Amino acid sequence: MPTEENKPAVTIEKVDGIPLYLIPKAIADLIKKKGEAVFQIIVERKFHHRYTVKVETFDEHAERVKQEEPARKEGEGHG
Protein backbone atom coordinates (compact mmCIF):
# COMPACT_ATOMS: atom_id res chain seq x y z
CA MET A 1 0.00 0.00 0.00
CA PRO A 2 1.25 3.52 -0.68
CA THR A 3 0.83 4.70 2.95
CA GLU A 4 3.04 1.98 4.41
CA GLU A 5 6.74 2.65 4.82
CA ASN A 6 9.21 0.02 3.72
CA LYS A 7 11.71 0.05 6.58
CA PRO A 8 14.65 -2.31 6.56
CA ALA A 9 14.66 -4.99 9.24
CA VAL A 10 16.17 -3.85 12.52
CA THR A 11 19.36 -5.79 13.21
CA ILE A 12 21.54 -5.03 16.19
CA GLU A 13 25.20 -5.65 15.49
CA LYS A 14 26.88 -7.54 18.33
CA VAL A 15 29.99 -9.57 19.06
CA ASP A 16 29.85 -12.23 21.80
CA GLY A 17 32.58 -13.73 23.96
CA ILE A 18 35.48 -11.39 23.31
CA PRO A 19 38.30 -10.75 25.81
CA LEU A 20 38.82 -7.35 27.40
CA TYR A 21 41.80 -6.36 25.26
CA LEU A 22 39.79 -6.81 22.01
CA ILE A 23 36.87 -4.55 23.02
CA PRO A 24 38.29 -1.40 21.30
CA LYS A 25 38.82 -3.29 18.03
CA ALA A 26 35.34 -4.84 18.18
CA ILE A 27 33.77 -1.42 18.78
CA ALA A 28 35.74 0.12 15.91
CA ASP A 29 34.72 -2.68 13.52
CA LEU A 30 31.03 -2.36 14.44
CA ILE A 31 31.12 1.43 14.09
CA LYS A 32 32.59 1.03 10.59
CA LYS A 33 29.60 -1.17 9.68
CA LYS A 34 27.04 1.28 11.08
CA GLY A 35 28.71 4.47 9.91
CA GLU A 36 27.53 7.77 11.35
CA ALA A 37 24.20 6.31 12.52
CA VAL A 38 25.59 4.97 15.84
CA PHE A 39 23.40 5.93 18.81
CA GLN A 40 24.55 3.66 21.63
CA ILE A 41 27.39 1.28 22.44
CA ILE A 42 26.74 -1.37 25.10
CA VAL A 43 29.48 -3.52 26.66
CA GLU A 44 28.32 -6.30 29.00
CA ARG A 45 30.54 -8.58 31.03
CA LYS A 46 29.63 -12.23 30.65
CA PHE A 47 31.34 -15.27 32.15
CA HIS A 48 35.07 -15.94 32.56
CA HIS A 49 36.15 -12.37 31.73
CA ARG A 50 34.43 -12.41 28.33
CA TYR A 51 32.36 -9.52 27.06
CA THR A 52 29.53 -8.81 24.62
CA VAL A 53 29.67 -5.62 22.57
CA LYS A 54 26.52 -4.20 20.94
CA VAL A 55 26.29 -1.15 18.69
CA GLU A 56 22.84 0.30 18.03
CA THR A 57 21.38 3.02 15.85
CA PHE A 58 18.54 5.17 17.19
CA ASP A 59 15.93 3.12 15.29
CA GLU A 60 17.32 -0.14 16.72
CA HIS A 61 17.37 1.35 20.21
CA ALA A 62 13.77 2.58 19.92
CA GLU A 63 12.60 -0.83 18.69
CA ARG A 64 14.42 -2.64 21.53
CA VAL A 65 12.93 -0.33 24.17
CA LYS A 66 9.48 -0.77 22.67
CA GLN A 67 9.82 -4.56 22.91
CA GLU A 68 11.20 -4.52 26.46
CA GLU A 69 8.83 -1.96 27.96
CA PRO A 70 5.28 -1.78 26.57
CA ALA A 71 3.67 1.65 26.54
CA ARG A 72 1.51 2.58 29.50
CA LYS A 73 -2.23 2.76 29.02
CA GLU A 74 -3.85 6.16 29.09
CA GLY A 75 -5.05 7.05 32.55
CA GLU A 76 -2.42 5.09 34.44
CA GLY A 77 -0.84 7.55 36.79
CA HIS A 78 1.90 7.42 39.36
CA GLY A 79 1.62 5.06 42.31
Q: Which pLDDT score, from 0 to 100, does residue 71 have?
A: 61
Per residue, the 3-state secondary structure of the chain, as one string, reads CCCCCCCCCCCCEEEEEEEHHHHHHHHHHHHHHHHHHEEEEEEEECCCCEEEEEEEEHHHHHHHHHHHCCCCCCCCCCC
pTM score over 0.75: no
* pLDDT digit string, tens, across residues 31-74: 998 888 889 999 999 988 899 999 988 888 888 888 877 666 66
